[in-house]
């Protein structure tokens, strides 16, 4: 538990974990389709691709300060493995949320939920990637 004394935050000992960032890594069943969806439909930039024997196995994507890793499924856990269940990625944006949603639709994407005002303030909409990973874009607090 932290306490403030004389304008300084005192941290508990041993100090709790403090992360600087998080970069999720998603496994794609159809890597090429997912890479195209994240870059062409959502608007991520491909920073780096990793390949082995001429086959791309993964990529690092960026959108502003956010990073996302995308990997090709090797099917070692079976082809019937469900992806995207029990998790949701939240992308916070400072741009016009409605314009982002319209751009996604114009580039062939489908929204799971249209932009709407949220009870806590701001606006949000959601999409699902080709493997069913759920993503919510939001503004506000």
Tell me the domain boundaries of the chain.
Answer: 23-75+83-138
pLDDT above 70 covers what percent of the chain?
94
- For the question of whether the overall pTM of this predicted structure is more than 0.95, the answer is no
Mapped onto helix, strand or coil, the DSSP state of residue 138 is strand
Check the CA dihedral 4-9-15-16 and report its sign.
positive
pLDDT-based confidence at residue 19 (cuts at 50, 70, 90)? confident
- Kindly report the CATH number that applies to the domain delimited by 23-75+83-138: 3.10.180.10
Residue 1 clears pLDDT 90, i.e. is over it = no
Name the residue with higher pLDDT: 5 or 89.
89
| Mean pLDDT of the residues in the chain | 91
d(CA 141, CA 127): 20
Residue 140 clears pLDDT 90, i.e. is over it = no
Sequence-separated (6 or more) residues with CB below 8 Å from residue 37: 109, 129, 130
Number of Cβ atoms within 10 Å of the Cβ of 106: 9
């Amino acid at each position: 538990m932290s306490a403030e004394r004389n304008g300084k935050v005192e941290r508990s000992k041993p100090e709790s974990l403090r992360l600087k960032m998080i970069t999720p890594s998603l496994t794609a069943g159809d890597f090429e389709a997912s890479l195209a969806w994240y870059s062409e439909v959502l608007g991520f930039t491909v920073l780096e691709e990793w390949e082995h024997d001429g086959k791309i196995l993964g990529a690092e994507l960026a959108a502003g300060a956010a990073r996302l890793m995308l990997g090709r499924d090797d099917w070692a856990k079976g082809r019937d493995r469900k992806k995207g269940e029990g998790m949701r990625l939240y992308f916070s944006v400072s741009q016009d949320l409605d314009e982002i949603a319209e751009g996604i639709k114009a580039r062939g994407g489908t929204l799971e939920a249209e932009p709407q005002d949220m009870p806590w303030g701001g606006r949000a909409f959601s999409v699902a990637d080709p493997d069913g990973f759920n993503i919510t874009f939001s503004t506000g607090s």
